[in-house]
Structure 1
Amino acid sequence: MDYTATIPTSAPPDRAAQMITDDLERWWSTRVDRHPDGFTIRFNRSHVTFAYGPGGTPDHFSWTCTDAHMIMDDVDDPTEWTGTRLVWQIAPANGGSTVTLTHEGLTPQIACFDICRRGWQHFFEASLRNHLNGAPAMPETSAPAA
């Protein structure tokens, strides 16, 4: 089963969608390289590149990992995320919206599952939730490794 979680937010759906995409540096990593079709996000010596999925709407959009080089203890293949997809769904809720993230391909069958699930618990379930609700977020702030 793919990693999936839902968070509540006081932000209306259109604002939540904008904050997810436009504010990557505020909730995920301070090291983001944007390009017209997507972005690359960096952590220490690791990086992941995403392409924006076709046909997205403000309340349902996706990003496909086109390149990954993630250095993790006990994970032999740093490219495991390549070909996986982040699917975002935003629904109206009383006083705001709910945001659901499904990381298609992040399943217990891949070596990084436990590490990456904990990463999403931090960056999605805590940092992004805080950011969407006006509280301090906790993005990755590490400098590039020497």
Structure 2
Amino acid sequence: MATSNYSTTILVDNSKEEVFNAINNVRGWWQGEIEGSTEKLNEEFSYSVPGIHFSKQKIVEIIPNERILWGIIDSKLSFVKDQSEWTGTKIVFEISEVNNKTQVRFSHLGLVPEFECYGDCSNAWKKLIEESLFSLITTGKGVNVFG
């Protein structure tokens, strides 16, 4: 049975290594306050937009130039009833080569349509991955998609 986790894909001309490095430069594409290290196994970092969103990510898998997996170990979304909806979900970036281009498949495992935040969260991820991360990879600078 197909899952209904949120997922999106981007395709770029950059190398897998450049893509991998850009994803790990979380501050470069995810707007908000980020504390902690975002590029080493077992490290934790928090992301917050005061009064709206807080989440704490643990880097549970990191395969250079191929795959990055973050587990959400704590969360508080102030705009939904169940403020811990993200807790226990996982964020995965899969990097592969497709027709001499580099593909990034982003998935938020556990972010499903049943979640109250699904609409807002999937829309935010779409902008962050397809616009900001894409821009960081291709131009060296992310864009503020929440401006």
Tell me, yes or no, whether TM beats 0.5.
yes
The runs of 5 or more residues in structure 2 that have no matched partner are none
Instruction: Report the counterpart of residue 45 of structure 2 in structure 1.
Output: 39
SS of residue in 1 equivalent to 2:9: strand
Tell me which stretches of 4 or more aligned residues in structure 1 moved more than 6 Å: none
* Alignment RMSD: 2.0
Q: 1:50 to 1:8 in 2, by over 3 A?
A: same
Amino acid at match of 1:31: E
2:63 is aligned to 57
For each residue in 1:22-70, what CA deviation from the matched residue of structure 2 results, as whole angstroms up to 9, or x when unmatched? x21121024210146121111132211100014x312012000001011
**Alignment match, 2:76:** 69
Shift of 1:77: 1.2
- The residue number in structure 1 matching 2:116 is 111
- 2:130 is matched with 125
Check 1:53–1:85 CA distance in 2 against 1; reply closer, same or farther (3 A cut): same
Aligned to 2:63, the other structure's residue is in SS state coil
Choose the corresponding residue for 2:27, options 10, 25, 28. Answer: 25
* Corresponding pairs, count: 138
Q: Which has the higher contact order (CA 8 A, sep 6+)?
A: 1
**1:12 is matched with which residue: 15, 21, 28?**
15
2:96 counterpart residue number:
91
Shift of 1:95: 4.9
**1:139 and 1:39 mapped to 2: Cα distance?**
20
Deviations 1:57-111 (A, max 9, x none): 1201200000101122xx1011100000001100123454110011000000111
Unaligned stretches of 5+ residues in structure 1 = none
Determine what percentage of the aligned residue pairs are the same residue.
22
Task: State the distance in 1 between where 2:98 and 2:48 align.
Answer: 33
Offset of 1:133 from its aligned partner? 0.9
